[in-house]
Chains A and B, each alone.
Chain A
């Protein structure tokens, strides 16, 4: 079963544990400036929104890369940057419609979410389950369950 990151912004409190976990997992340091997932704070609406790569099926970053540094991880379906191949040309950052692949000045390469090889650190760190890792074919399952629960039907026992 292929899995996918699923984000529910209404559950996000803005604690940034996801950003910390991401930087620690990938850089061995607590540094939100290096995180591949970002939480945006829409202050005057009281909304916080975590945002990262959605792993497009037809990935524009991958197609744009002139040196084939972005490849598909067969196990997770993640589009993964191979750092030893990447030349830091940044064409992928232009191709991505969502801005979720970014240049890192320190290394001279780009970075993006790689689903941590199938065990995303941000998911483990999120205290409110705003970020979950679910069946890619059923990302809407939880929302369906919530709406289903609101339908105006009596239980069979009390009918």
Chain B
């Protein structure tokens, strides 16, 4: 229970949609969403598979709390082998489509093969069918959603789709749902595009009824909601300022990677911060921020809805960007802003809109622009090659490159590679701020040491969301640790990785963990799901998290990753922070990795010991 107990298998090569019972034995071991879908994936897909070949599969999965009254219970994840990374990919998104899929009666969809022509999947409760998408191919995610709603004569249908980036093979393409939420990282949208799958449209009216104990569930979810409401971060900080609450804080700490991580503080941070989003513009007297917004079921509501000045040079001739839409989250404000030295808030907001509109990851995109700007500054790339002068700080260059990437023209074709392949092509691989070919986000490992280990060991390539030790090192959740030291960080990272894997498998949002621990999650899962005699305890969820982490690791090792891939760009290890509290420091990653392996029960090559795998039932 909690689960719909039914999965949809779509063979794109044959054009068939079949219903299968959910493997309940696996559900007991891997719960749902990230864990359970990854279990299906590793059982069915060769780790050596080319991510863009028909033999790769793509799974869209909900968790047992998706579509319930648990706060933030609207999440779904996309699991595949990442186009950008070649590693296991798991990208999580909110909005409404996850809950809609669950309410249509499905736990997950497994896509396999490749359609001979563009198609989209239509789901109306238990009726699923592939439909021709010739009229949608070449369209943006925004247009695709509108056309599907119109042709279905149903404004309540929920849509996720790829934009032109996913069609054109931009290696960091997203799957965008509900206009401005996205399964963003690792190129899951690129894989979708390689299968000629344009969109998924879902309408669910069956609902979620299989809750083990409704009364206990309502008690547990109500108590957990109160914890969120009473917490300063989830109750006040995030709804008021969004994740952008961090911009000035991280900059003050000297941990804001700036101009392709040449610096750790950005003089323009204030101008692109949450506070700036609240202020009225001098130009038109309106604020960038229109309102906050929630995803399905979320009682935090950190989402930003923004509107730019219609007379801003970047949109004055483009009315489609004049309305209110998804605004800047912290990571995007950083990647499009600080990473490129750009401090024009409205320009960043528009660049973010373009990423949503055509479906590409603003973190990788912005960080790649940063690398391009550095190559331009060095004279390796020229104005003629890029199509525009591209020094650090140029908002014009940022937006022109965004348009080129979205449309797949000119230098946009080079941008499609991401920073690792692009910098290597031009002879400077050291300028890619990435791990496993995926760019790291908005926390500099010289100023927040735990995040270095987080990036280096993340199973999906550099990412903040696998073990967000910022919570501890910056905000003191659950306990304050010193961000400038490496001592204790391997254990911290490991505990965060395991707990996060459990949350990512539940259907709830990782942002709840500013207030919730597994102590808050376990009673909600236990009330929703059959768990045998043992029930769903904190200990069981932590072990489940470790099981998922090791399962992902085993897949990556079999895919060809080794210990040398658990490393940071040389810049972070050899070029000390120039200013701020971390001045003079480099990342202590080399000290942390061996200790981390040991704690994990892995050998010195980063391979899990037999005993470790046996202990976790792998």
Write the residues of chain A forming the contact surface with B, with a CB cutoff of 8 angstroms.
Answer: 13-17, 20-21, 23-24, 27-34, 43-48, 125, 127-128
Contacts and interface: CB of A to CB of B under 8 A. Distances in A.
B607 interface: no
Contacts of B323: 43-45
Given A23-B207, A30-B208, A31-B208, A13 B69 contact: no
A15 B307 contact: no
A15 B295 contact: yes
8 contacts: A13-B298, A14-B293, A15-B296, A17-B297, A45-B290, A46-B291, A46-B293, A127-B71
Instruction: Identify the 3 closest CB pairs spanning chains A and B, nearest first.
Output: A31-B207, A44-B323, A46-B324
A17 to B, nearest CB: 6
Contacts of A32: 99, 103, 207
B335 to A, nearest CB: 24
Contacts of B205: 31, 33-34
A43 B207 contact: no
User: By CB atoms of chain B within 10 A, which of A15, A28, A34, A47 has the most?
Assistant: A15
A39 to B, nearest CB: 10
Q: How large is the interface on B (under 10, 10 to 19, 20 to 34, 35 or more residues)?
A: 35 or more
Contacts of B204: 33
A143 B96 CA distance: 31
Interface in B297-341: 297-299, 301, 305, 307, 323-325
A82 to B, nearest CB: 24
Contact of A15 (B103, B218, B301): B301
Contacts of B67: 30
A68 B245 CA distance: 56
A121 to B, nearest CB: 10
B69 A128 contact: no
Interface in B93-122: 96, 99, 103
A127 B229 contact: yes
B298 A46 contact: no
Contacts of A33: 103, 204-205, 207
A43 to B, nearest CB: 7
A46 B225 CA distance: 25
B557 interface: no
Contact of B69 (A24, A46, A47): A24
A157 to B, nearest CB: 30
B206 interface: yes
Contact of A46 (B206, B290, B294): B290
Given A15-B298, A15-B299, A45 B324 contact: yes
B297 A16 contact: yes
B69 A125 contact: yes
A44 B69 contact: no
Contacts of A46: 290-291, 293, 305, 307, 324
B292 interface: yes
B32 to A, nearest CB: 16
B251 interface: no
Contact of B294 (A13, A20, A45): A13
Given A13-B294, A30-B103, 11 more contacts: A15-B294, A15-B301, A16-B96, A21-B69, A28-B209, A29-B207, A31-B206, A31-B207, A31-B209, A32-B207, A34-B205
A126 to B, nearest CB: 9
B307 to A, nearest CB: 7
A48 B178 CA distance: 14
Contacts of B68: 20, 30
Contacts of B209: 28-31
B399 to A, nearest CB: 21
Given A13-B292, A127-B225, A43 B297 contact: no
Interface in B370-419: none
B453 interface: no
B150 to A, nearest CB: 14
A24 B214 CA distance: 9
A43 B239 CA distance: 18
User: By CB atoms of chain B within 10 A, which of A31, A32, A47, A48 has the most?
Assistant: A32
Interface string B202-217: 0011111101001000
Contact of A28 (B71, B214, B291): B214
B272 interface: no
B355 interface: no
Contacts of B71: 127
B84 interface: no
Contacts of B367: none
B179 interface: yes
A37 B206 CA distance: 17
A31 B103 CA distance: 7
A23 B204 CA distance: 14
A29 B206 CA distance: 9
Contact of B293 (A17, A27, A48, A127): A48
A15 B301 CA distance: 8
